[in-house]
Structure 1
Amino acid sequence: MKKQIKYRRIYEETSPRDGKRVLVDRVWPRGMRSEKAQVDEWLRDVAPSTELRKWYGHESSRFTEFRRRYLDELGDSEHRDAAGHLRDLADHDKLTLLTATKDVEHSQAAVLAEWLTGGARRATR
């Protein structure tokens, strides 16, 4: 069965087609109340490290290197359990990865969606 994974901004309206809604940011989105977010899970530990997030700064010119470093992080001990849990969710449910990032195409949510569907080198458990 093909995995049904999408990603979008947490500020967008929810949809009945979202399936499980998982926030993949390290910090809670500014101005977003938990009731409005309708998040099923918040997986802080699958988000990029603080150091990587600050280095990237959402500068699209750094995205290729950000993507490479983030994929490496998904296999490290700090990310492994959360990444495995996210993979398990994707194996059993429709999944919507949520982020506060304005440019979702150049975000960790996009990298995670690619990784979960096998389009990126997989981190080891």
Structure 2
Amino acid sequence: MARSRQVRMRRVYDPPEEADGSRVLVDRIWPRGLSKEAAALDEWCKDVAPSTGLRTWYGHDPGRFEEFSRRYRTELRDEPHEAALRHLTELSRHGTLTLLTATKDRDISAAAVLREVLTQH
């Protein structure tokens, strides 16, 4: 029987929790005003983040989220996105994976799309 993957999503500004497991920042840009120590990351996987062009076009506009999600899923099929996604998939097989983002509204973020992709694999 396959073990279901636990992929969590949190803001990088929130204090770490014991239940986080592997803490991976999935934003392309380092979070403003946060030290590396305060972030308490296991790693920064910026290659899995949306391209600068897609991120800029989206601008976290809720009306564009559906199209952003579609375009981002397409990007995830290309290198280096695909290699980074494989790496996150592997991490999720070994325990809880927490995707960290600086985005205020996590539900319409790249991390939300990633979480969905990782839990569907």
TM-score by length of 1: 0.93
1:65 and 2:52 are equivalent in the alignment: no
RMSD of equivalent CA atoms: 0.8
What is the alpha-carbon distance in structure 2 between the residues aligned to residue 86 and residue 5 of structure 1? Answer: 10
Structure 1: 4+ residue segments shifted above 3 A: none
**Residue in structure 2 matching 1:91, options 75, 84, 93:** 93
**Residue in structure 2 matching 1:28, options 21, 27, 30:** 30
Tell me which residue corresponds to 1:75: 77
Tell me which residue corresponds to 1:4: 6
Give unpaired runs (5+ residues) of structure 2: none
What is the alpha-carbon distance in structure 2 between the residues aligned to residue 77 and residue 16 of structure 1? Answer: 33
SS at match of 1:21: strand
Give the superposition deviation at 1:78.
2.6
Q: Which amino acid aligns with 1:27?
A: I
What is the alpha-carbon distance in structure 2 between the residues aligned to residue 110 and residue 59 of structure 1? Answer: 14
* Aligned length, in residue pairs: 119
- Deviations along 1:75-123, one digit per CA (max 9) or x if unpaired, are 01231111110111111120100000000000011100100010xxx6x
What is the alpha-carbon distance in structure 1 between the residues aligned to residue 93 and residue 109 of structure 2? Answer: 22
Give the superposition deviation at 1:8.
1.1
TM-score by length of 2: 0.96
What is the alpha-carbon distance in structure 2 between the residues aligned to residue 4 and residue 78 of structure 1? Answer: 24
- Residue identity over aligned pairs, in percent, reads 55
What is the alpha-carbon distance in structure 2 between the residues aligned to residue 68 and residue 86 of structure 1? Answer: 20
What is the alpha-carbon distance in structure 2 between the residues aligned to residue 86 and residue 49 of structure 1? Answer: 18
What is the alpha-carbon distance in structure 1 between the residues aligned to residue 105 and residue 20 of structure 2? Answer: 19
